[in-house]
Amino acid sequence: MHRDVSGIDAIGRTAFAVAALRAAEHRSPDGLFTDPYAAHFLRAAGMGPQWEAGADFAAVMRTQAVVRTRFFDEGLLAAADQGCRQVVLVASGMDSRPWRLTWPADTEVFEIDQDPVLRFKNAVMDEHAGPTVVARHPVAVDLREDWAAALHARGFDENSPTAWLVEGLLYSLDAPAADRLLSTLTRISAPGSTLAFDHFEIGPTLRAATDRIDPGLTGLWQSGPADPAAWLKSHDWLADVHELAHIAAEFDRTVHPAYVPGPAAEGHSWLVTAVRPNPAA
């Protein structure tokens, strides 16, 4: 069933682009994960095969999107296994992890995104998936507002360790906005909490490639943090910063040159995990 997406703004629609890449990976025999829900989102939004195929877009973005998906799947499940019983998907878009992953039974999964995005997602998943096995709490709020209060209002407990995921978001924030996000998230993270995110430098090749595909998309990109390791350290997180290209190689994937640092290529693309240490330790 087609659903109205007219209330979803340009940044909200980027979630469909990620879903298109995950749908393609799902169809691939050697896919890094399965995501049977991604295609439902696209169909419900009236996006046909041209979206799913999206050859130019996929050439630039697919490896980044699918490697990070697999990497964060593993990281989130490991965090849950180690005691994080709250998971917060910040800017969750069409991420289907609340349904797709097998969480410990008492896990509470919070999904923060804009109201029209979450309403669309809820409707599609009601039709195609039904309720999640674990407790799921959609939190409809703009991340530029007091999102921590909205999260608390849905039952979030800041004294309980949390696994945070900020996926596909930081490049659309400027450095001060990214910093405000991290400050808030840090303030409500109990010791033992984990944080994972992806981020990349936006160089000329990437900009030119996305301009050819969709200038509107390039227009959404800002800077985010310039140095994730230093950024996390300054907020008292113990960080593990990986180059996407290295993690991709572990999965036998090669990234587009726009995501490879070095003189012959363009810039850093990071997959980051971090832990909030116990102050007494």
Ligand X SMILES: C[S@@+](CC[C@H](N)C(=O)[O-])C[C@H]1O[C@@H](n2cnc3c(N)ncnc32)[C@H](O)[C@@H]1O
Q: Which residues of this chain interact with ligand X, rule CB under 6 A?
A: 11-12, 14-15, 18, 91-95, 113-114, 117, 142-144, 167-169, 172
- In the bound complex, what is the minimum distance in angstroms from residue 12's beta carbon to ligand X? 4
- In the bound complex, what is the minimum distance in angstroms from residue 126's beta carbon to ligand X? 18
- In the bound complex, what is the minimum distance in angstroms from residue 191's beta carbon to ligand X? 25
Closer CB to ligand X, residue 12 or residue 161?
12
Q: How far is CA 15 from CA 31, 52, 121, 152, 250, in A?
A: 20, 13, 11, 25, 26
Closer CB to ligand X, residue 144 or residue 212?
144
Please calculate the CA angle 179-183-185 and round it to the nearest 5 degrees. 115
Closer CB to ligand X, residue 93 or residue 161?
93
Of 216, 273, 223, which Cα lies nearest the Cα of 16?
A: 216
Closer CB to ligand X, residue 117 or residue 274?
117
Residue, CB closest to ligand X: 93
Tell me how far apart the alpha carbons of residues 214 and 223 are, in angstroms, rounded to a whole number: 18
- In the bound complex, what is the minimum distance in angstroms from residue 264's beta carbon to ligand X? 28
Closer CB to ligand X, residue 211 or residue 236?
211
Q: Would you mind telling me the total number of residues written for the chain in this entry?
A: 281
Number of C-beta neighbours around residue 235 at 10 A: 18
SS (H, E, C) 213-271: HCHHHHHHCCCCCCCHHHHHHHCCCEEEEEEHHHHHHHCCCCCCHHHCCCCCCCCCEEE
CB 166 within 8 A of CB 89: no
- In the bound complex, what is the minimum distance in angstroms from residue 231's beta carbon to ligand X? 19
Of 186, 268, 260, 272, which Cα lies nearest the Cα of 226?
A: 268
Amino acid at 127: E
- In the bound complex, what is the minimum distance in angstroms from residue 139's beta carbon to ligand X? 9
Closer CB to ligand X, residue 28 or residue 277?
28
- In the bound complex, what is the minimum distance in angstroms from residue 206's beta carbon to ligand X? 15
Tell me how far apart the alpha carbons of residues 131 and 144 are, in angstroms, rounded to a whole number: 29
SS (H, E, C) 42-95: HHHCCCCHHHHHCHHHHHHHHHHHHHHHHHHHHHHHHHHHCCCCEEEEECCCCC
- In the bound complex, what is the minimum distance in angstroms from residue 244's beta carbon to ligand X? 14
Closer CB to ligand X, residue 92 or residue 194?
92
Closer CB to ligand X, residue 119 or residue 192?
119
